[in-house]
Amino acid sequence: MKPSRKRKRNSCKEKGNLIDLFEKLNALNKKKLENDDDSTVNSKISEDNTDNSSAKLIDKTIIENEDTQNDSVLCKEDCKICKLESYVSNDWYTYLCEEFSKDYFISIKTELHKKAFYPPIEKIFLFSKYFDIKDTKVVIIGQDPYHNPNQAMGLSFSVPINVKIPPSLKNIYKELNSDLTGYSIPSHGSLIKWAEQGVLLLNDVLTVEKNKPGSHSKMGWKLFTQRILEVINETCNNVVFLLWGNYARSKSFLINPSKHLILESAHPSPFSANKFFGCKHFSKTNEYLKNHNKVPIDWAIL
Ligand SMILES: [Zn+2]
């Protein structure tokens, strides 16, 4: 049985609700394994929840999960994957909370239990950490997280400081160097300082299996990131979308060009960089932001 619209909305009111629910479920499942007497479990639910509707929801969820044998609630210990959505920052959570109860998101959680993945779970939603959705100024869409150890950090094109700068990012730096006067190429590949200024560095797919590029492309993440783009398109005004390569360009249908600026070019990877160079997207972005009374991005701050 699908949860009602009303219940979904109620579950979105506070970030803690779903997470608390999973924590209680884990604790209760553990207790249940120890004690086959259902009446004990049910009386424990009542003790833990003064709110009757919560108790009913938990009870119902246990029954449903027993039917589906969903891994995500059968974890015996405190499991980070079961609480995946808790890593989305507060503001973004309120916009996206209805996604967390959808089949595709539950399926992502189930799949992530099976094999190790990148980036570390705490960093999957790092892009949501630095600013509220309404303050998004620029969106740079990537495809897949980096698939080698220590590279992926939850921001498209970015790698942690001390990790070798990937070829595509090197080319982005080269273009910046020719586009902006006084720009000097940084010695590292961390783009956190861009994110701090309202640049959303969003991959289309948010996890990947080690050394297997594209391995999670059918996991359901595209529905989640599409929702993010829809929310930005609806909620914000005068955002600049930088769509590099055919993959990113295929997202343009989600963006209203009368509200926002879409800049398209080839991808900065070595295979197509000769068509990327000269796009001058960084100066064009700042020109647009200034024209719409927004503080431009300091691209050189890294
Ligand atoms: Zn789990």
Torsion sign across C-alpha atoms 246, 201, 277, 243: positive
Torsion of CA 62, 66, 70, 72, to 10 degrees: 40
- Which residues are marked as active site? 144
- Rounded to the nearest whole angstrom, what is the distance from the C-alpha of residue 278 to the centroid of ligand 1? 47
- Rounded to the nearest whole angstrom, what is the distance from the C-alpha of residue 48 to the centroid of ligand 1? 22
Question: What pLDDT is recorded for position 14?
Answer: 53
Q: What would the two tokens of residue 216 be? A: 């999670």
Q: State the Cα–Cα distance between residues 21 and 271, nearest whole angstrom.
A: 48
- Rounded to the nearest whole angstrom, what is the distance from the C-alpha of residue 123 to the centroid of ligand 1? 17
- Rounded to the nearest whole angstrom, what is the distance from the C-alpha of residue 41 to the centroid of ligand 1? 20
- Rounded to the nearest whole angstrom, what is the distance from the C-alpha of residue 37 to the centroid of ligand 1? 24
CA neighbor of 155 nearest in space, from 115, 191, 182:
191
Q: How many CB atoms lie within 10 A of CB 289?
A: 20
The burial class, CB within 10 Å (0-12 / 13-18 / 19+), for 81 is: middle
Torsion of CA 180, 184, 187, 193, to 10 degrees: -50
- Rounded to the nearest whole angstrom, what is the distance from the C-alpha of residue 229 to the centroid of ligand 1? 28
Mutual angle of helices 16-34 and 38-48, in 10-degree steps? 150
- Rounded to the nearest whole angstrom, what is the distance from the C-alpha of residue 80 to the centroid of ligand 1? 6
Q: State the Cα–Cα distance between residues 74 and 71, nearest whole angstrom.
A: 5
- The whole-model pTM stands at 0.79
Question: What pLDDT is recorded for position 15?
Answer: 57
Q: State the Cα–Cα distance between residues 95 and 90, nearest whole angstrom.
A: 9
- Rounded to the nearest whole angstrom, what is the distance from the C-alpha of residue 66 to the centroid of ligand 1? 15
Neighbours of ion ligand 1 (CB under 5 A): 72, 75, 79, 81-82
Cis geometry, peptide bond prior to residue 119 (ω within 30 degrees of 0):
yes
Nearest-5° Cα angle at 19, 35 to 109: 90
Question: What pLDDT is recorded for position 2?
Answer: 40
Sorted by sequence, the CB contacts under 8 Å of residue 257 that are 6+ apart come out as none
- Rounded to the nearest whole angstrom, what is the distance from the C-alpha of residue 282 to the centroid of ligand 1? 42
Tens-digit pLDDT profile for the chain (302 aa)? 344 444 444 446 455 454 444 444 444 444 444 443 333 333 333 333 333 333 333 333 333 333 333 444 467 678 999 999 999 999 999 999 999 999 999 999 999 999 999 999 999 999 999 999 999 999 999 999 999 999 999 999 999 999 999 999 999 999 999 999 989 999 999 999 999 999 999 999 999 999 999 999 999 999 999 999 999 999 999 999 999 999 999 999 999 999 999 999 999 999 999 999 999 999 999 999 999 999 999 999 98
- Rounded to the nearest whole angstrom, what is the distance from the C-alpha of residue 83 to the centroid of ligand 1? 8
